[in-house]
Structure 1
Amino acid sequence: MSATDLKPAFNKNNIPIFYTSDDNYVDMLSVSILSLVDNSSEENNYDIVILEDGINKYSKQILLTILQGKPNISLRFFSVTDFVKKSNSETWKLPQSLSPASYYILFTPLVACNYSKVIYLDCDTLVQTDISNLLRIDIRNHCCAAALDPNCDIAADLNVAKHLCDDLGFKDMSNYVNSGIVVFNIQKINEANIYDKVVDIAHKNKGYFGDQDVLNAAYDGKIFVLDQLWNVFWGLIFEREKMRNLSDSEIEHLLDNAYIIHFAGQKPTQKPNEPYAAKWWMYARRTPFYERLLHKSLTYGFKQIFHDSYCSSIQNSWDNLK
């Protein structure tokens, strides 16, 4: 299927939601999709498109079972293999902590050329309201909309700030947004012919925060800032020292009233005992990938136990040598 062949799945009340994933993250993706489905309305039609490069046939079949009995929800897969092949591999520089699939978000405006406006969601999100409300926000003539990134470490890191501002042309770190939840205004993006700029900036990018740096620099001055409730980091709880200046009451308000919780960084499979992880596991338990997610969580836990035990043993040996 080419981009020109991808058209809205429904003629009326079509709410397009784009995700990116590979086979490693399809289990996390299933949780986000299930939360979106649970908070959907029968008045709307939801057009879910997965930009992927390597999700196997079996995983796709399993994922589609989530939508059984939901005639107003469509789920399709769009292979970005051709986009990846046409791009210079050196163009898309990524830090080791990010999956190559994270860069697929930058292909969204090209793939969605037959849409006027689309929502992009990371697969590590939990939707807690009708997602159509996000699409209906008036972002005026902006090319996209996103919430500010609450991680003040990004703004405080002089190397990152210098690279973004000096090398990529980004103007103001206080306007730095997170790319986990984005509304793309396809019509305005096409009018501004931004994709060439995206590729140019991606080529210059050193990969500190991958696609997020590119999105901020390429769309600088053309981003509508969303209410923070549309992208609430669960790290506000256990990494408060890294977050922007938010009081305890402000953090509690955000987490208790979040439209979307974003499990950026460490996942509930790694920190199952942290507050709000239970909300994610409630959905995970109902997905056909539950056992796979449980295996990931147990494997991570055993690795941490071994790591802590090994480090303790080394420390004891060192102390005995003193």
Structure 2
Amino acid sequence: MTHAIPVFFACNDAYVPHLCVTIVSILENSDAPFSFHVLNQDISEESQNQVLKLGSLRPFDIEFIHVNRGMFGDLKIDAEHVSIETAFRFLVPQIRPEFRKAIYLDCDLVVQDDLKKLWDVEPGQNYAGVVEDLLPRKDYRSHKARIGIRRYFNAGMLLLNLEQIRQDFSVETFLSIERKNRAWFLFADQDVLNFAFANRVIYLPLRWNVVAPVFRNHRRINRDHSYTRQEIVSARNSPAIVHFVGQDKPWVVPRGITAHPCVSEYYRYLRKTPFADQEKQIMRSFPATRIFLRYWWRRPFFFFRLNFWKMWLLKQKIAANAQ
């Protein structure tokens, strides 16, 4: 008997359409059985029923697990585009004690390859399989030094070794780390996991969590990382997971010169969800002309830049494949 691959999400009611996009992208790219576990504090019954409609694509198991916000005390999430739900991933090892390992995914991403390939990776005695974060920040190196790690991972995709984590950590352990280091942590719960796991992780190919900077000029990515230029180019051309980090998400910037190169992939999957009609509303309300003029004002000679045309061609190629 083939057991379902457990995939955990942390989501609020407003993010349910994006959760549906992520689930559809998983189902479309794999024949494996999945069980989805949605940690939340406010997803309505109506929204849950909308998610259940995805069962018409093919069967899957799903449960909505209510989380009491109070158990996280005074945990602070300062980023405008990040909600408290992101910290709910601390609960994953305790929620289902029968699971040996699990996959955690953020809801602002699309999966472009068979997730079973990720699942088949064995973490050994490590806490997780992760992908190094490529942050265009000048203070990246000093931040890693404060945490005491050589490499810093993005926590939007985690292949979790639940057995190992249960042995060494509890939810209170994670919260205690955040409280003690709050003054200098930059990314809240993501910093907590980097601090706690302290290099006991397996670093996976970059294509398993391709963040927005990978699609930009590689020279602008912070050079203090371990990926080669060829690995970055390969991940850009063949991403297994496209992670829409930052504020310019597909439903915020759906088209135009500043849109993410893979924005068309998001809408390709959205059209297969009960929220397909949102595409017209988003496109209609987006001030494309104003955004273009603002971009042109700040970068009047952008059309002379080779990287601009590389990204434009990549966006056209991806859009053509999404038709």
Kept after mapping to 1: 8 A contact 2:207/2:234: no
| 1:78 counterpart = 2:61 | no
243-252 or 218-227, larger mean C-alpha shift: 243-252
Change (3 A) 1:114 1:68: same
Change (3 A) 1:180 1:286: same
Kept after mapping to 1: 8 A contact 2:135/2:222: yes
Aligned to 1:233: 211
- 2:13 is paired with a residue whose SS is coil
Counterpart-to-counterpart distance in 2, 1:53 and 1:60? 12
Counterpart-to-counterpart distance in 2, 1:145 and 1:194? 19
Counterpart-to-counterpart distance in 2, 1:17 and 1:304? 40
How far residue 255 of structure 1 moved from its aligned partner, in angstroms, is: 2.0
Kept after mapping to 1: 8 A contact 2:218/2:229: no
| 1:215 counterpart = 2:193 | yes
Change (3 A) 1:100 1:295: farther
Counterpart-to-counterpart distance in 2, 1:218 and 1:248? 29
Aligned to 2:287: 302
- 2:287 is paired with a residue whose SS is helix
1:18-167 maps to which residues of 2 (within 5 A)?
A: 18-41=8-31, 44-68=32-56, 70-71=58-59, 73-81=60-68, 84-88=69-73, 90-153=74-137, 156-157=138-139, 161-162=142-143, 165-166=145-146
How far residue 93 of structure 1 moved from its aligned partner, in angstroms, is: 3.9
1:248-267 maps to which residues of 2 (within 5 A)?
A: 250-265=231-246, 266-267=248-249
How far residue 303 of structure 1 moved from its aligned partner, in angstroms, is: 9.0
Counterpart-to-counterpart distance in 2, 1:119 and 1:258? 18
Counterpart-to-counterpart distance in 1, 2:9 and 2:56? 19
- 1:62 is paired with a residue whose SS is helix
Amino acid in the other structure paired with 1:79: H
Using structure 2 for the length normalisation, give the TM-score.
Answer: 0.79
Kept after mapping to 2: 8 A contact 1:49/1:78: yes
Using structure 1 for the length normalisation, give the TM-score.
Answer: 0.79
Identify the match of residue 279 of structure 1 among 265, 271, 274. 265
- 1:108 is paired with a residue whose SS is helix
Aligned to 2:157: 181
Counterpart-to-counterpart distance in 1, 2:142 and 2:182? 12
- 1:208 is paired with a residue whose SS is coil
Amino acid in the other structure paired with 2:139: D
Amino acid in the other structure paired with 1:124: D
- 1:24 is paired with a residue whose SS is helix
Change (3 A) 1:222 1:76: same
Aligned to 1:13: 3
- 1:34 is paired with a residue whose SS is helix
Amino acid in the other structure paired with 2:209: N
Counterpart-to-counterpart distance in 2, 1:229 and 1:303? 30
Change (3 A) 1:281 1:69: closer
Q: Deviations over 1:140-169 (max 9, x none)?
A: 10011210001141xx316x945x654xxx
**Cα RMSD after superposing both structures:** 2.6
Change (3 A) 1:64 1:242: farther
Kept after mapping to 2: 8 A contact 1:150/1:244: yes
Kept after mapping to 2: 8 A contact 1:205/1:214: no
How far residue 292 of structure 1 moved from its aligned partner, in angstroms, is: 2.7
Q: Deviations over 1:295-315 (max 9, x none)?
A: 34543x239839978xx9xxx
How far residue 249 of structure 1 moved from its aligned partner, in angstroms, is: 5.5
Q: Deviations over 1:40-90 (max 9, x none)?
A: 21xx3211111111111111111111112523x112111112xx22231x1
Counterpart-to-counterpart distance in 2, 1:101 and 1:45? 26
Kept after mapping to 2: 8 A contact 1:234/1:264: yes
Task: Tell me the percent identity.
Answer: 23
Give the unaligned 5+ runs of structure 1: 1-10, 313-322
